[in-house]
Amino acid sequence: MAERGRSRSSQSSVASTQRTISAEPSPVRSSPDSVSSRDYTKYWYNKLPPMTNYRTGICEQLTDLEASIDNAQRAAENHRQIWREHPETPSKASAEIEYRKYLAAIDLAENRMSKLGPCPKRSCTRHHEPVQDAEMTEAGQYPLPKSPIPSPTNLTSPNDFKQVPHKKAARIRPDKPYSPIQTTNRFRNLMDTSENVNTNDQQTQNAIPDINLKLTGDYNLTIQEIARNFPETCCKYHRGYIRITPQTLEDREKIIEALDKSEKEYVLSEPSENRPIKIVIKNLPPDHCKERIVSELEDMKFKVIRINQLRNYRLKTFLPIFLIELAKTPNANSIFQTEKINNFNVKIEHYRKKQRATMCYNCSDFFHSARNCKCKPRCIKCNGSHETRMCNIKTKIENPVCINCKEIGHLASWKGCPKYPVIKNNTTPTYAQKLKSNLQKTNYTPTPSMNNPTPQIDTDNYEEFVKNMNALRIINDAFSKFPNLIEISEKIKLAKTDMEIVGLLLKIFKN
Protein backbone atom coordinates (compact mmCIF):
# COMPACT_ATOMS: atom_id res chain seq x y z
CA MET A 1 0.00 0.00 0.00
CA ALA A 2 1.44 3.34 -1.04
CA GLU A 3 0.83 6.58 0.80
CA ARG A 4 1.56 9.90 -0.91
CA GLY A 5 3.85 8.33 -3.49
CA ARG A 6 5.90 6.29 -1.04
CA SER A 7 5.84 2.64 -0.05
CA ARG A 8 7.37 0.50 2.62
CA SER A 9 9.23 -1.61 0.05
CA SER A 10 11.11 1.41 -1.22
CA GLN A 11 12.08 2.31 2.34
CA SER A 12 13.20 -1.19 3.31
CA SER A 13 15.22 -1.76 0.13
CA VAL A 14 17.57 1.22 0.50
CA ALA A 15 20.95 0.81 -1.09
CA SER A 16 23.40 -0.97 1.12
CA THR A 17 25.88 1.83 0.58
CA GLN A 18 23.78 4.11 2.81
CA ARG A 19 24.86 2.25 5.92
CA THR A 20 27.29 -0.68 6.00
CA ILE A 21 28.94 -2.74 8.67
CA SER A 22 32.64 -2.76 8.81
CA ALA A 23 34.02 -6.09 9.96
CA GLU A 24 37.52 -4.71 10.40
CA PRO A 25 38.46 -3.36 13.83
CA SER A 26 39.44 0.26 14.27
CA PRO A 27 43.21 1.00 13.90
CA VAL A 28 45.08 0.53 17.14
CA ARG A 29 48.23 2.31 18.06
CA SER A 30 51.21 0.05 18.20
CA SER A 31 52.49 -0.67 21.64
CA PRO A 32 56.18 -0.60 22.29
CA ASP A 33 55.93 -3.93 24.07
CA SER A 34 54.35 -5.70 21.12
CA VAL A 35 56.50 -7.96 19.13
CA SER A 36 54.45 -7.82 15.90
CA SER A 37 51.06 -6.62 14.72
CA ARG A 38 49.75 -10.18 14.32
CA ASP A 39 50.56 -11.06 17.94
CA TYR A 40 48.88 -7.88 19.14
CA THR A 41 45.75 -8.66 17.14
CA LYS A 42 45.46 -12.08 18.77
CA TYR A 43 45.97 -10.53 22.20
CA TRP A 44 43.22 -7.93 21.53
CA TYR A 45 40.77 -10.55 20.24
CA ASN A 46 41.26 -12.83 23.28
CA LYS A 47 40.91 -10.01 25.83
CA LEU A 48 37.90 -8.42 24.10
CA PRO A 49 34.63 -9.15 26.02
CA PRO A 50 31.84 -10.90 24.06
CA MET A 51 29.57 -8.37 22.33
CA THR A 52 26.09 -8.99 21.05
CA ASN A 53 25.24 -8.21 17.47
CA TYR A 54 23.16 -5.06 17.64
CA ARG A 55 21.80 -5.61 14.15
CA THR A 56 20.06 -8.91 14.89
CA GLY A 57 16.78 -7.06 15.78
CA ILE A 58 16.71 -4.77 12.71
CA CYS A 59 14.62 -7.27 10.75
CA GLU A 60 12.03 -7.37 13.52
CA GLN A 61 12.02 -3.58 13.80
CA LEU A 62 11.45 -3.23 10.07
CA THR A 63 8.57 -5.69 10.27
CA ASP A 64 6.94 -3.75 13.14
CA LEU A 65 7.36 -0.44 11.30
CA GLU A 66 5.82 -1.88 8.15
CA ALA A 67 2.84 -3.15 10.17
CA SER A 68 2.36 0.26 11.80
CA ILE A 69 2.52 1.95 8.38
CA ASP A 70 -0.11 -0.45 7.03
CA ASN A 71 -2.45 0.22 9.96
CA ALA A 72 -2.05 3.99 9.68
CA GLN A 73 -2.61 3.93 5.91
CA ARG A 74 -5.72 1.79 6.36
CA ALA A 75 -7.17 4.17 8.96
CA ALA A 76 -6.37 7.20 6.78
CA GLU A 77 -8.08 5.57 3.81
CA ASN A 78 -11.17 4.90 5.93
CA HIS A 79 -11.31 8.59 6.95
CA ARG A 80 -10.94 9.63 3.31
CA GLN A 81 -13.75 7.30 2.23
CA ILE A 82 -16.08 8.58 4.97
CA TRP A 83 -15.49 12.16 3.77
CA ARG A 84 -16.43 11.17 0.22
CA GLU A 85 -19.70 9.51 1.31
CA HIS A 86 -20.63 12.04 4.02
CA PRO A 87 -19.03 15.41 3.20
CA GLU A 88 -21.21 17.35 5.69
CA THR A 89 -20.44 15.46 8.88
CA PRO A 90 -20.68 17.51 12.13
CA SER A 91 -17.39 16.10 13.49
CA LYS A 92 -15.32 17.03 10.46
CA ALA A 93 -12.73 19.05 12.41
CA SER A 94 -11.97 16.23 14.84
CA ALA A 95 -11.82 13.72 11.98
CA GLU A 96 -9.35 15.95 10.12
CA ILE A 97 -7.11 16.11 13.21
CA GLU A 98 -7.14 12.30 13.42
CA TYR A 99 -6.30 12.08 9.74
CA ARG A 100 -3.26 14.34 10.15
CA LYS A 101 -2.11 12.25 13.12
CA TYR A 102 -2.11 9.16 10.93
CA LEU A 103 -0.08 10.96 8.25
CA ALA A 104 2.45 12.10 10.86
CA ALA A 105 2.75 8.54 12.17
CA ILE A 106 3.42 7.30 8.63
CA ASP A 107 6.18 9.93 8.12
CA LEU A 108 7.79 9.06 11.46
CA ALA A 109 7.80 5.33 10.69
CA GLU A 110 9.29 5.93 7.23
CA ASN A 111 12.07 8.10 8.69
CA ARG A 112 12.95 5.39 11.19
CA MET A 113 13.05 2.80 8.41
CA SER A 114 15.39 4.96 6.36
CA LYS A 115 17.72 5.35 9.37
CA LEU A 116 17.77 1.61 10.07
CA GLY A 117 18.68 0.78 6.50
CA PRO A 118 18.13 -2.53 4.72
CA CYS A 119 17.60 -5.83 6.47
CA PRO A 120 21.01 -7.41 7.35
CA LYS A 121 19.67 -10.94 7.04
CA ARG A 122 20.29 -12.09 3.49
CA SER A 123 18.14 -15.15 4.08
CA CYS A 124 15.07 -13.05 4.97
CA THR A 125 12.44 -13.69 2.29
CA ARG A 126 10.29 -10.76 3.49
CA HIS A 127 12.83 -8.03 2.71
CA HIS A 128 15.03 -9.73 0.08
CA GLU A 129 14.03 -11.44 -3.12
CA PRO A 130 15.70 -14.84 -3.77
CA VAL A 131 18.40 -14.42 -6.40
CA GLN A 132 19.09 -17.34 -8.70
CA ASP A 133 22.53 -18.13 -9.95
CA ALA A 134 22.88 -17.04 -13.57
CA GLU A 135 25.14 -19.92 -14.48
CA MET A 136 22.76 -22.52 -13.04
CA THR A 137 19.82 -20.93 -14.83
CA GLU A 138 21.60 -21.04 -18.16
CA ALA A 139 22.56 -24.66 -17.59
CA GLY A 140 18.89 -25.57 -17.17
CA GLN A 141 19.01 -26.67 -13.51
CA TYR A 142 16.08 -24.41 -12.60
CA PRO A 143 12.67 -25.15 -14.17
CA LEU A 144 11.67 -22.75 -16.90
CA PRO A 145 8.30 -21.01 -16.75
CA LYS A 146 5.46 -22.84 -18.45
CA SER A 147 4.23 -21.42 -21.73
CA PRO A 148 0.99 -22.15 -23.61
CA ILE A 149 3.03 -23.40 -26.61
CA PRO A 150 4.84 -26.70 -25.96
CA SER A 151 8.58 -26.18 -26.16
CA PRO A 152 10.96 -28.79 -27.61
CA THR A 153 12.85 -31.06 -25.27
CA ASN A 154 16.28 -30.10 -26.56
CA LEU A 155 16.85 -26.39 -26.16
CA THR A 156 18.89 -24.85 -28.94
CA SER A 157 20.58 -21.53 -29.11
CA PRO A 158 19.75 -18.96 -31.81
CA ASN A 159 23.09 -19.70 -33.53
CA ASP A 160 22.08 -23.33 -34.25
CA PHE A 161 19.16 -22.27 -36.47
CA LYS A 162 18.35 -24.65 -39.31
CA GLN A 163 16.17 -24.02 -42.32
CA VAL A 164 13.01 -26.17 -42.37
CA PRO A 165 11.42 -27.45 -45.59
CA HIS A 166 8.34 -25.65 -46.80
CA LYS A 167 6.06 -28.64 -46.25
CA LYS A 168 7.15 -29.07 -42.63
CA ALA A 169 7.10 -25.40 -41.77
CA ALA A 170 4.16 -24.07 -39.79
CA ARG A 171 1.82 -21.60 -41.37
CA ILE A 172 2.29 -17.97 -40.52
CA ARG A 173 -0.84 -16.88 -38.67
CA PRO A 174 -1.57 -13.17 -38.48
CA ASP A 175 -2.13 -11.85 -34.99
CA LYS A 176 -5.79 -10.91 -34.89
CA PRO A 177 -6.91 -8.70 -32.04
CA TYR A 178 -9.53 -10.81 -30.34
CA SER A 179 -12.29 -8.77 -28.75
CA PRO A 180 -13.10 -9.66 -25.14
CA ILE A 181 -16.11 -11.86 -24.52
CA GLN A 182 -19.07 -9.74 -23.49
CA THR A 183 -21.19 -11.15 -20.69
CA THR A 184 -24.48 -9.88 -19.38
CA ASN A 185 -24.93 -9.07 -15.71
CA ARG A 186 -28.45 -8.20 -14.63
CA PHE A 187 -27.16 -6.92 -11.27
CA ARG A 188 -24.71 -4.35 -12.65
CA ASN A 189 -27.24 -1.57 -12.11
CA LEU A 190 -27.06 -2.22 -8.38
CA MET A 191 -23.42 -1.12 -8.17
CA ASP A 192 -24.16 2.60 -8.25
CA THR A 193 -27.09 3.41 -6.02
CA SER A 194 -27.18 7.11 -6.89
CA GLU A 195 -27.85 6.44 -10.56
CA ASN A 196 -30.51 3.88 -9.71
CA VAL A 197 -32.31 6.36 -7.50
CA ASN A 198 -32.31 8.94 -10.26
CA THR A 199 -33.58 6.49 -12.87
CA ASN A 200 -36.34 5.30 -10.55
CA ASP A 201 -37.34 8.89 -9.87
CA GLN A 202 -37.51 9.58 -13.59
CA GLN A 203 -39.65 6.52 -14.16
CA THR A 204 -42.09 7.52 -11.42
CA GLN A 205 -42.23 11.06 -12.74
CA ASN A 206 -42.87 9.89 -16.29
CA ALA A 207 -45.58 7.41 -15.22
CA ILE A 208 -48.98 8.89 -16.12
CA PRO A 209 -52.02 7.61 -14.18
CA ASP A 210 -54.67 5.71 -16.12
CA ILE A 211 -58.36 6.45 -16.64
CA ASN A 212 -60.70 3.47 -16.10
CA LEU A 213 -63.88 3.87 -18.14
CA LYS A 214 -66.91 1.90 -16.98
CA LEU A 215 -68.50 -0.41 -19.54
CA THR A 216 -71.77 0.89 -20.97
CA GLY A 217 -73.82 0.20 -24.08
CA ASP A 218 -72.10 2.89 -26.17
CA TYR A 219 -68.54 2.43 -24.90
CA ASN A 220 -67.35 1.66 -28.45
CA LEU A 221 -68.28 5.15 -29.65
CA THR A 222 -66.43 6.71 -26.72
CA ILE A 223 -63.27 4.73 -27.47
CA GLN A 224 -63.45 5.67 -31.17
CA GLU A 225 -63.68 9.35 -30.32
CA ILE A 226 -60.71 9.13 -27.91
CA ALA A 227 -58.62 7.22 -30.49
CA ARG A 228 -59.45 9.80 -33.17
CA ASN A 229 -58.51 12.81 -31.03
CA PHE A 230 -55.59 11.15 -29.24
CA PRO A 231 -54.12 8.44 -31.54
CA GLU A 232 -51.23 7.57 -29.21
CA THR A 233 -53.58 6.56 -26.39
CA CYS A 234 -53.58 2.87 -25.38
CA CYS A 235 -56.81 1.10 -24.31
CA LYS A 236 -57.09 -2.27 -22.52
CA TYR A 237 -59.87 -4.22 -20.82
CA HIS A 238 -59.36 -4.91 -17.10
CA ARG A 239 -61.88 -6.09 -14.47
CA GLY A 240 -65.01 -4.71 -16.05
CA TYR A 241 -63.40 -1.39 -17.02
CA ILE A 242 -61.54 -0.06 -20.05
CA ARG A 243 -58.13 1.17 -18.97
CA ILE A 244 -57.16 4.27 -20.97
CA THR A 245 -53.44 5.15 -20.82
CA PRO A 246 -52.64 8.62 -22.24
CA GLN A 247 -49.16 9.66 -23.32
CA THR A 248 -49.02 13.09 -21.64
CA LEU A 249 -50.67 14.82 -18.72
CA GLU A 250 -52.31 17.31 -21.09
CA ASP A 251 -53.98 14.48 -23.00
CA ARG A 252 -55.15 13.02 -19.71
CA GLU A 253 -56.82 16.28 -18.65
CA LYS A 254 -58.49 16.69 -22.06
CA ILE A 255 -59.83 13.12 -21.95
CA ILE A 256 -61.26 13.73 -18.46
CA GLU A 257 -62.98 16.90 -19.69
CA ALA A 258 -64.49 15.01 -22.62
CA LEU A 259 -65.79 12.26 -20.35
CA ASP A 260 -67.32 14.81 -17.96
CA LYS A 261 -69.13 16.56 -20.82
CA SER A 262 -70.60 13.28 -22.05
CA GLU A 263 -71.48 12.29 -18.43
CA LYS A 264 -69.56 9.04 -18.53
CA GLU A 265 -68.70 7.04 -15.41
CA TYR A 266 -65.01 6.42 -14.79
CA VAL A 267 -62.46 5.83 -12.05
CA LEU A 268 -59.08 7.56 -11.87
CA SER A 269 -55.91 5.67 -11.07
CA GLU A 270 -53.98 7.45 -8.37
CA PRO A 271 -50.21 7.92 -8.91
CA SER A 272 -47.93 6.36 -6.33
CA GLU A 273 -46.50 9.69 -5.18
CA ASN A 274 -50.00 10.98 -4.35
CA ARG A 275 -51.10 7.91 -2.43
CA PRO A 276 -51.15 8.50 1.33
CA ILE A 277 -49.19 6.48 3.85
CA LYS A 278 -51.48 4.57 6.17
CA ILE A 279 -50.20 4.06 9.71
CA VAL A 280 -51.68 2.63 12.89
CA ILE A 281 -51.08 4.13 16.35
CA LYS A 282 -51.53 1.73 19.27
CA ASN A 283 -51.42 1.92 23.08
CA LEU A 284 -53.55 5.05 23.38
CA PRO A 285 -56.71 5.19 25.55
CA PRO A 286 -59.94 4.29 23.67
CA ASP A 287 -61.52 7.65 24.57
CA HIS A 288 -58.50 9.71 23.51
CA CYS A 289 -59.29 12.88 21.57
CA LYS A 290 -58.43 12.64 17.87
CA GLU A 291 -57.89 16.39 17.55
CA ARG A 292 -55.05 16.21 20.05
CA ILE A 293 -53.34 13.54 17.97
CA VAL A 294 -53.70 15.63 14.82
CA SER A 295 -52.31 18.76 16.49
CA GLU A 296 -49.37 16.79 17.91
CA LEU A 297 -48.51 15.34 14.48
CA GLU A 298 -48.84 18.73 12.79
CA ASP A 299 -46.42 20.21 15.32
CA MET A 300 -44.00 17.46 14.29
CA LYS A 301 -44.39 18.70 10.65
CA PHE A 302 -46.54 15.81 9.42
CA LYS A 303 -49.45 16.46 7.08
CA VAL A 304 -52.52 14.52 8.28
CA ILE A 305 -55.14 13.78 5.63
CA ARG A 306 -57.59 11.72 7.67
CA ILE A 307 -57.83 10.08 11.09
CA ASN A 308 -60.22 7.35 12.16
CA GLN A 309 -60.57 5.14 15.23
CA LEU A 310 -61.07 1.44 14.65
CA ARG A 311 -63.94 -0.31 16.39
CA ASN A 312 -65.31 -3.76 17.07
CA TYR A 313 -68.49 -4.17 15.00
CA ARG A 314 -69.73 -7.15 16.99
CA LEU A 315 -69.41 -5.53 20.42
CA LYS A 316 -69.93 -2.01 19.02
CA THR A 317 -67.02 -0.64 21.04
CA PHE A 318 -64.04 1.48 20.05
CA LEU A 319 -60.57 -0.06 20.04
CA PRO A 320 -57.38 1.68 21.29
CA ILE A 321 -56.16 1.78 17.67
CA PHE A 322 -56.16 4.87 15.46
CA LEU A 323 -55.81 4.72 11.67
CA ILE A 324 -54.12 7.80 10.18
CA GLU A 325 -53.40 8.73 6.57
CA LEU A 326 -50.34 10.92 6.03
CA ALA A 327 -49.28 12.73 2.88
CA LYS A 328 -46.01 11.62 1.28
CA THR A 329 -43.76 14.41 2.51
CA PRO A 330 -39.94 14.10 2.72
CA ASN A 331 -40.15 13.38 6.46
CA ALA A 332 -43.16 11.03 6.32
CA ASN A 333 -41.17 7.86 6.95
CA SER A 334 -39.71 9.29 10.16
CA ILE A 335 -43.11 8.84 11.83
CA PHE A 336 -42.13 5.24 12.65
CA GLN A 337 -39.32 6.51 14.88
CA THR A 338 -41.76 8.43 17.07
CA GLU A 339 -42.11 6.88 20.52
CA LYS A 340 -44.37 9.36 22.35
CA ILE A 341 -47.60 11.15 21.36
CA ASN A 342 -49.45 13.33 23.87
CA ASN A 343 -47.11 12.08 26.62
CA PHE A 344 -48.08 8.43 25.95
CA ASN A 345 -45.66 5.73 24.86
CA VAL A 346 -47.15 4.50 21.60
CA LYS A 347 -46.39 1.90 18.97
CA ILE A 348 -46.61 2.99 15.32
CA GLU A 349 -46.84 0.37 12.56
CA HIS A 350 -47.84 0.07 8.92
CA TYR A 351 -51.50 -0.56 8.26
CA ARG A 352 -51.90 -4.23 7.33
CA LYS A 353 -54.67 -4.52 4.80
CA LYS A 354 -56.88 -7.59 4.84
CA GLN A 355 -56.74 -10.04 1.96
CA ARG A 356 -60.03 -9.03 0.37
CA ALA A 357 -61.27 -6.78 -2.38
CA THR A 358 -61.61 -3.05 -1.70
CA MET A 359 -65.20 -1.80 -1.90
CA CYS A 360 -66.05 1.75 -2.90
CA TYR A 361 -68.27 3.67 -0.49
CA ASN A 362 -69.63 5.78 -3.37
CA CYS A 363 -70.73 3.37 -6.12
CA SER A 364 -70.48 0.13 -4.06
CA ASP A 365 -68.20 -1.41 -6.69
CA PHE A 366 -64.89 -3.18 -6.09
CA PHE A 367 -61.15 -2.58 -6.62
CA HIS A 368 -61.15 1.19 -6.06
CA SER A 369 -61.88 3.80 -3.38
CA ALA A 370 -64.41 6.61 -3.23
CA ARG A 371 -61.60 9.19 -3.35
CA ASN A 372 -61.00 8.56 -7.06
CA CYS A 373 -64.48 7.39 -8.07
CA LYS A 374 -66.40 9.48 -10.64
CA CYS A 375 -69.34 7.09 -10.95
CA LYS A 376 -72.93 7.59 -9.87
CA PRO A 377 -73.55 6.82 -6.20
CA ARG A 378 -75.38 3.62 -5.35
CA CYS A 379 -76.71 2.39 -1.98
CA ILE A 380 -76.26 -1.29 -1.03
CA LYS A 381 -79.34 -1.20 1.23
CA CYS A 382 -82.05 0.22 -0.99
CA ASN A 383 -80.26 0.44 -4.38
CA GLY A 384 -80.93 4.17 -4.42
CA SER A 385 -78.88 6.88 -6.13
CA HIS A 386 -77.12 7.98 -2.96
CA GLU A 387 -74.26 6.82 -0.80
CA THR A 388 -74.84 4.07 1.74
CA ARG A 389 -74.01 6.31 4.69
CA MET A 390 -76.69 8.78 3.55
CA CYS A 391 -79.41 6.12 3.47
CA ASN A 392 -82.48 6.61 5.70
CA ILE A 393 -82.55 2.94 6.67
CA LYS A 394 -80.76 2.72 10.01
CA THR A 395 -82.13 -0.59 11.29
CA LYS A 396 -81.30 -4.15 10.32
CA ILE A 397 -83.01 -5.38 7.15
CA GLU A 398 -84.65 -8.79 7.55
CA ASN A 399 -84.63 -9.87 3.88
CA PRO A 400 -82.13 -7.64 2.05
CA VAL A 401 -81.68 -7.80 -1.72
CA CYS A 402 -78.18 -7.82 -3.19
CA ILE A 403 -77.68 -5.08 -5.79
CA ASN A 404 -75.06 -7.17 -7.64
CA CYS A 405 -76.46 -10.72 -7.89
CA LYS A 406 -80.16 -9.77 -7.21
CA GLU A 407 -80.50 -12.59 -4.64
CA ILE A 408 -82.50 -12.25 -1.44
CA GLY A 409 -80.96 -12.75 1.97
CA HIS A 410 -77.66 -10.85 1.88
CA LEU A 411 -76.09 -7.51 0.98
CA ALA A 412 -73.46 -6.81 -1.67
CA SER A 413 -70.75 -6.57 0.99
CA TRP A 414 -71.23 -10.20 2.05
CA LYS A 415 -68.21 -12.35 1.22
CA GLY A 416 -70.41 -15.31 0.27
CA CYS A 417 -72.04 -13.37 -2.56
CA PRO A 418 -71.44 -14.95 -6.00
CA LYS A 419 -70.43 -11.55 -7.36
CA TYR A 420 -67.99 -10.84 -4.53
CA PRO A 421 -64.45 -11.09 -6.00
CA VAL A 422 -62.14 -13.66 -4.48
CA ILE A 423 -58.46 -12.76 -4.15
CA LYS A 424 -56.11 -15.71 -4.36
CA ASN A 425 -53.58 -15.94 -1.57
CA ASN A 426 -50.17 -16.74 -3.05
CA THR A 427 -48.60 -17.56 0.30
CA THR A 428 -47.75 -21.19 0.91
CA PRO A 429 -50.13 -22.94 3.33
CA THR A 430 -48.89 -23.98 6.73
CA TYR A 431 -48.72 -27.57 7.95
CA ALA A 432 -51.82 -27.02 10.09
CA GLN A 433 -53.79 -25.80 7.06
CA LYS A 434 -52.68 -28.78 5.00
CA LEU A 435 -53.67 -31.18 7.79
CA LYS A 436 -57.04 -29.48 8.14
CA SER A 437 -57.73 -29.79 4.42
CA ASN A 438 -56.81 -33.49 4.53
CA LEU A 439 -59.12 -34.16 7.49
CA GLN A 440 -62.06 -32.53 5.73
CA LYS A 441 -61.86 -35.02 2.86
CA THR A 442 -64.47 -37.77 3.12
CA ASN A 443 -63.23 -41.32 3.02
CA TYR A 444 -64.28 -42.96 -0.20
CA THR A 445 -65.86 -46.40 0.27
CA PRO A 446 -65.98 -48.30 -3.00
CA THR A 447 -69.27 -50.00 -3.77
CA PRO A 448 -69.11 -53.73 -4.43
CA SER A 449 -69.21 -54.53 -8.10
CA MET A 450 -71.79 -56.83 -9.57
CA ASN A 451 -69.18 -59.07 -11.16
CA ASN A 452 -67.75 -60.09 -7.76
CA PRO A 453 -70.73 -61.15 -5.58
CA THR A 454 -70.30 -61.27 -1.83
CA PRO A 455 -69.91 -64.76 -0.30
CA GLN A 456 -72.89 -66.20 1.61
CA ILE A 457 -72.75 -66.37 5.43
CA ASP A 458 -72.52 -69.82 7.05
CA THR A 459 -75.58 -70.28 9.29
CA ASP A 460 -73.87 -72.69 11.73
CA ASN A 461 -71.03 -70.32 12.51
CA TYR A 462 -73.48 -67.46 12.90
CA GLU A 463 -75.49 -69.35 15.52
CA GLU A 464 -72.33 -70.10 17.50
CA PHE A 465 -71.37 -66.45 17.36
CA VAL A 466 -74.80 -65.41 18.72
CA LYS A 467 -74.47 -67.90 21.60
CA ASN A 468 -71.06 -66.55 22.55
CA MET A 469 -72.32 -62.98 22.52
CA ASN A 470 -75.25 -63.95 24.78
CA ALA A 471 -72.84 -65.62 27.20
CA LEU A 472 -70.68 -62.52 27.33
CA ARG A 473 -73.76 -60.40 27.98
CA ILE A 474 -74.73 -62.66 30.91
CA ILE A 475 -71.22 -62.42 32.37
CA ASN A 476 -71.28 -58.64 32.03
CA ASP A 477 -74.60 -58.47 33.90
CA ALA A 478 -73.19 -60.69 36.65
CA PHE A 479 -70.19 -58.43 37.12
CA SER A 480 -72.48 -55.39 37.33
CA LYS A 481 -74.60 -57.07 40.03
CA PHE A 482 -71.69 -58.52 41.99
CA PRO A 483 -68.74 -56.11 41.66
CA ASN A 484 -66.60 -58.13 44.11
CA LEU A 485 -66.87 -61.29 42.05
CA ILE A 486 -63.35 -61.03 40.59
CA GLU A 487 -61.77 -60.40 44.01
CA ILE A 488 -63.53 -63.37 45.63
CA SER A 489 -62.64 -65.66 42.68
CA GLU A 490 -58.95 -64.86 43.28
CA LYS A 491 -59.33 -65.77 46.98
CA ILE A 492 -61.11 -69.04 46.09
CA LYS A 493 -57.97 -70.13 44.18
CA LEU A 494 -55.95 -69.76 47.41
CA ALA A 495 -58.53 -71.50 49.65
CA LYS A 496 -57.44 -74.84 51.16
CA THR A 497 -60.69 -76.27 52.58
CA ASP A 498 -64.22 -76.53 51.30
CA MET A 499 -65.54 -74.48 54.21
CA GLU A 500 -63.39 -71.53 53.20
CA ILE A 501 -64.71 -71.76 49.65
CA VAL A 502 -68.34 -71.81 50.88
CA GLY A 503 -67.67 -68.81 53.13
CA LEU A 504 -66.22 -66.82 50.25
CA LEU A 505 -69.23 -67.65 48.04
CA LEU A 506 -71.61 -66.44 50.76
CA LYS A 507 -69.78 -63.11 50.82
CA ILE A 508 -70.80 -62.57 47.21
CA PHE A 509 -74.52 -62.61 48.11
CA LYS A 510 -74.05 -60.62 51.34
CA ASN A 511 -72.57 -57.68 49.43
Cα dist from 156 to 139, 140, 159, 162, 482, whole Å: 12, 12, 8, 10, 120
146-187 pLDDT per residue, tens: 444 444 444 455 556 677 777 777 777 776 666 677 777 777
CA 226 to each of CA 147, 208, 258, 372: distance values in angstroms, whole numbers, following the listed order: 72, 17, 9, 21
Q: Which of 259, 220, 511 is nearest to 375 (CA)?
A: 259
More confident residue, 240 or 196: 240
CATH number given to 277-350: 3.30.70.330
Gyration radius of the chain over CA positions: 49
Q: In what order do the strands lie in the sheet with 266-268?
A: 234-238, 241-245, 211-214, 266-268
**What predicted TM-score, i.e. pTM, was given to this entire model?**
0.42
User: Is the pLDDT assigned to residue 322 strictly greater than 80?
Assistant: yes
Beta bridge partner(s), residue 340: 345
Q: What percent of the chain has pLDDT over 90?
A: 16
251 contact partners, CB below 8 Å, separation of at least 6: 230, 232, 233
Residue bearing the bigger pLDDT, 371 or 136: 371
pLDDT attached to residue 324? 93
**Residue 311 pLDDT > 70, yes or no?**
yes
**pLDDT by residue (tens digit) across 208-225?**
889 999 988 888 899 999
The Cα–Cα gap between 200 and 220 comes to: 36
Extents of the domains making up the chain: 53-84+97-116, 211-268, 277-350, 361-424, 465-508
Q: What is the pLDDT of residues 405-458, one digit of tens each?
A: 888 889 988 888 988 888 777 777 777 877 777 665 555 555 555 455 555 555
